[in-house]
Amino acid sequence: MAQDNNPQHNDEKKIQETREKFLKDYNKKREVESPDGQKIEVEPMKDYFSQQRPQRKDPHKGVIEKFLNWARSESIWVLGFGTGCGSIEIPPLSSPRFDMYRFGVAMRPTPRQSSAMIISGYLSVKTLKRAIRSYEQMMQPKFVMALGSCTINGGMYWDSYNTINRLDHYMPVDVYVAGCMPRPEALLAGFNQLKKRIREGRAEGANQYADHFDWYKANQKKIIKDWNMPDYNW
């Protein structure tokens, strides 16, 4: 049998073998019956997800990018990913006392409408899988805020068997808000810092994720044993 020496084909074969290893039955290629009684073939991993890797998106030059960064910094749409006690600090932000809307910050219900993601509280291995999936569905440019000690360095769960203690090993983080738990004032300070980084063109987490995608994905797969989804699910 002739040996295939094409590196691209070999890489694709390895990727396919890895996917088959983690696939559950409901994600495998199969034949189903449509509502009108016809037999159709579905392959969920291709039909429901994108197979494309994230692409680097270089900033515009000069005054155009400065204007875009100003607009981005004044219109931050947040996907709140509450995982533990940290999420209780987020609702007060929309109350009259703190009024996050005056800072150009608003909460959104879905990843595809959001430009910033708050990971608040401890992050379990099971939840990390969902956080990654949500992050990858967000549009570029996108930003991540790590809220609280548990998210940043594991906190009191730093040696737990089922929580992670370095969020920035699995997705890029733009701003860290320390505390256990940080008060709403600290969150507002974190947003101001994020706005500053955006205006200065230093909030390039999405490009960092694209540039080091293999490193991030390898770290993710080390602890998520039932991956069971595409390497990239935009």
Give the domain CATH number at 145. Answer: 3.40.50.12280
CB 146 within 8 A of CB 168: yes
Q: Is residue 204 part of a domain?
A: yes
pTM of the model: 0.80
Give the pLDDT score at 173.
94
Give the pLDDT score at 182.
82
Domain count, the chain: 1
Give the pLDDT score at 9.
63
Q: Is residue 7 part of a domain?
A: no
Residue 202 CA to residue 114 CA, distance in Å, equals 19
Domain with 180 in it: 63-223
Count CB atoms within 10 A of the CB of residue 103. 16
Exposed / middle / buried, residue 138 (Cβ in 10 Å: 0-12, 13-18, 19+): buried
Classify 46 as helix, strand or coil. helix
pLDDT by 10s per residue, the chain, length 234: 455 566 666 666 766 666 666 667 777 788 888 888 888 888 777 776 777 788 898 888 889 999 999 999 999 999 877 777 777 778 888 888 888 888 888 888 888 889 999 988 888 888 888 888 889 888 889 999 998 888 888 888 888 888 888 889 999 999 999 888 888 888 899 999 999 999 998 999 999 999 999 999 999 988 887 777 777 765
Q: Is residue 13 part of a domain?
A: no
Residue 100 CA to residue 93 CA, distance in Å, equals 5
Q: Is residue 12 part of a domain?
A: no
Q: Is residue 117 part of a domain?
A: yes
Residue 184 CA to residue 94 CA, distance in Å, equals 10
Residue 222 C-beta-side C-alpha neighbours within 13 Å: 9
Q: Is residue 147 part of a domain?
A: yes
Q: E strand or H helix at 175, and its extent? A: strand 175-177
Q: Is residue 17 part of a domain?
A: no
Q: Is residue 71 part of a domain?
A: yes
Give the pLDDT score at 157.
81
Give the pLDDT score at 14.
66
